[in-house]
Structure 1
């Protein structure tokens, strides 16, 4: 049936989903009514009811021609519906007149006109045909009241069969109406389901977009803070560097002056005073040496701060990765202990003595290692909260030389990650940390530094509840 209905739909039909559905319903109704009219045509021919047969011939032809006119675009679906209703009304009314007027069997069919009009074209058409049908019934009743009896042309011997056939026709109409209403309900339910699914999809997409916007906003705020912190760090480092230069320079000069003092200078003093002066000079020399050593250490820290605050292009240099890993491991652990003094973890290092020097951008690789150490210590903290009794947090760093590459491994026995999380750890803005504690950019930037910046490799292996191990390969 749907294939036949689609055939009679105009090729260039443009309308909403409701208009399309209404046009298809009108087409179905007209085609089914033509079948019923053909049945009534045969009945009229069998009963010898020639006026009814002529009317049914007109109805059958009209109901078969109208769909072809609609298919050719000769009129709209609204006009199509009104033509069908007018033709049906005329057929019923004229049959009622020829069958005896008010008491004719088909007079009751006039109530189908407003029902069909409401069903096909809406409330306005239903009101119009209700008024027309009411006036028709009142007119027939007035003729009967005045004694003007319209003769019935149905032979008496056929009236029972006539009535049964009319009853069957009414049942067919009710069946058609039921089928069409069921189709409408199914289409409406399907459309509501599709709309609900689409609404749910759009809602989830909006929630995801909102979460991404919030993460981006948090990242931008964090980036702004880090940029301000970098500028502040650079300023503080420059301010510290100037006095430290004086400390280092004067400590070195003072050590040289002590070494240049002639031993015979104090021979005129008594022995006790000579021993005192000699001990004081030695102590002063040792103190100046410590000042020089620690001043140089502070100078190295200041240079590292300036390198991290530096935003321009970086140059590669030969770097001892064992020393770099040790420094940043101690830095990460000390920083965490300053925030959480109750936290303790075992730090294990397995550094290859024959690792050699690697040509890398030391601040960038230091940032990668610091990020890995911070993530590992965070996983140890989380595991300790879940398993406080009998759990010994441990973080292991190992290095080795593999051909033309240097491998760095960072392993923890923390909470670990499931497979679906492990596949996303290098995606920007993806984080498993609570809001405000992570931006989801650390591992993504680290991956870019290692892979894109140094032509290396960066992999991760993790098991839930057992720990995580990051593998980092750098070309020598």
Structure 2
């Protein structure tokens, strides 16, 4: 029995992976011990006379293995087996020792030693089964741990790759952001230049109209100044005569003329100031403004400006101003630009329609078509409304959907920037209002059926 235990012990040590890994120098010893245990077993079977000596030799080796399992690191893997074999080894040693020193006592209690040996074997088998299950569980845990370690390494590798990709992507997005910011800055600068160009273009259109409008008050100033000169000569003559009644009448006439000179001088001054305001950037400050006066002024300026560029152009202007509109707080310079843009477009539309009708070669139809632009103001419950209507070419739905988009224009290249209506829409929105359009497209041969109407709604605040 002792040899069998030795064979199992040395065989286990020989095949144990932990022992091989940490103590490779012991592998030869384990193999020799395994072979020696088999040799002891063969010698005992072959030569029965050597059995006592070999038995005690085996007891010594087994006891040493018990000692080494708990005191030598190299034999530590034997602990589970030593724990299982310990009862059998102790019983065998006690049994042989008792038989050697007290044969009589041994003969009396021999059956007790046999019973104890049976229970020791039962203990051995149970420990082997338990140890086997534990080793399987440990092996499963080891495999799980190895898999988790592998997964951890793979996840770390993936994490490192993702971090590299994120860093690269972040650098790419940062570069794109910087490029977009630069592009946005350039676009804003270009937009500012285009807006200023649009303002200067509208200023150019106003110039001829302003020249015409300013000529009227200047003519009045000149005429009344000449009248006053003549009246002053008459006054001198009457002073010599001493006719006080006539002198009073002449003085009254001079005062009346001076009042008219002052009025028309202020009118000319207002026109010049309006032109200067139109050419400057808006201050954005709202001020009380007479909407009817503002609308009428820009209507006439637009018409005379177009007439100055095209002497053949002619159109009827019909106005309907609601006196209850009165004065409201708006940025007059900006609202004036809106009215000017809408009226300019209206005159352009009727001019184009006139050309289309005349192009048909039908004198009767040409005579029938009367280019007309309507300008109307009205007081509403929540504010005011300004309507600009024309009987020009009209707009299809596809055009109406786009007219407030920046840079969209139906005019030929060089005649429009496509910013007028877009800026007008933004200006009205800034005032908290709304700019809408309604239109109808009729046939060219039925000249009066096409029309377009823009409606400006501004809340009164």
User: TM-score under structure 2 normalisation?
Assistant: 0.45
Larger Cα-atom Rg:
2
Q: What TM-score does the superposition give when structure 1 sets the normalisation length?
A: 0.44
